[in-house]
Amino acid sequence: MGKREKIKVLVSVIGLDGHSIGAEVVCRILMDAGMEVVYLGIYQTPEMIVQAAIQEDVDVIGISSHASNYDQIVHLLGLLKKNNLEDISVICGGTIPQHQMEDLKKKGVSEVFLPQSTSESIVNYIVSRC
């Protein structure tokens, strides 16, 4: 990481998914690791997430997913590409079955963290990407 002192991560729940507690636990983990976290909360459309990512100039977008709404994540990836923001890594976490995980990675998600992933694995991965 070269451009600034703190890694800046946007954390959001996407679409109509209302399961917020996982995202909130991850926010705390990232803040404890010294990162700057922008937490958008729930009911964020892909458009809103992209807009916030531009405004906040983040390094990484983390999407917490517990509602099988992978189409929304794919739509987000498309919007990032359209806005030439592919340098922002998108990572996902949550209850995502194996084949969806592989599919999301093929479509541009850089990493998927499954339930009970350790804090260390999430933090180390983000540091390695920045």
Partner 1 sequence: MKRETDYGHPIKSVYTPKDIENLDYERDLGDPGSYPYTRGYYPDGYRSRVWTRRMTAGLGSSRQTNEVLKRYREMGQKGGMLVICDRTNAMPIDPDHPIGKREAGLLGWPGASLLEFEELMEDIPLTGQSITLLGSCTMSSIRLAYVVALAEKRGVNLHEVHGSVTEYPFCSTFGQTDAQPLDLNIKLWLDSSEYIVRNKIHMRSGILSQHFQESGGNNAQALAVEMAMLKDLCSLLVNERDLDFDDVAFLPYELVSVGSRFFEEIAKIRALRRMWARLAKETFKAKKTKSCQLLISVHTSGRTMTYQQPLNNIARCAIQTLAGAIAGCTAIDNACFDNAHAEPSPLAARMSLNTQHIVSDETGVTDVADPLAGSYFVEYLTNKVEEEAYKIWSKIEEQGGMIAAVQKGFIQEMMRESAQEKHKEVERGDRLIVGVNELVIPPEEDFQIPIQELKAGDSEGIARRMQEWKKTRNIPLVEVKMAKLYGDARKGDRYNLMPSIIEAVKAYATAGEILGVIRKARGLSYDPLGMIDCPFDFR
- Using CB under 8 A, pick the residue from 1, 4, 6, 24 that binds partner 1: 24
Q: Does 25 bind partner 1 (CB under 8 A)?
A: yes
Give the per-residue contact string, 36-65, with partner 1 (x = CB under 8 A; - = no).
Answer: ------xx-x--------------------
Query: With respect to partner 1, which residue has the nearer C-beta, 17 or 59?
Result: 17
Choice from 114, 125, 129, 130 touching partner 1 (CB under 8 A): 114
- Cα 34 from Cα 36, distance rounded (Å): 7
Nearest approach, Cβ of residue 106 and partner 1 (Å): 14
| Residues whose CB is less than 8 angstroms from the CB of residue 127 and which lie 6 or more positions away in sequence, other chains included | 1, 7
11 C-beta neighbours (distance < 10 Å), count: 24
Q: Applying CB under 8 A, does 106 fall inside the site for partner 1?
A: no
Q: Which helix (H) or strand (E) holds 121?
A: helix 119-129
If one asks whether residue 34 binds partner 1 (CB under 8 A), the answer comes out as: no
Q: Which is nearer to partner 1, 1 or 124 (CB)?
A: 124
Write the CA distances from 48 to 16, 74, 83, 129, integer angstroms: 13, 14, 13, 23
Nearer to partner 1, 57 or 71 (CB): 71
Amino acid residing at 87 = D
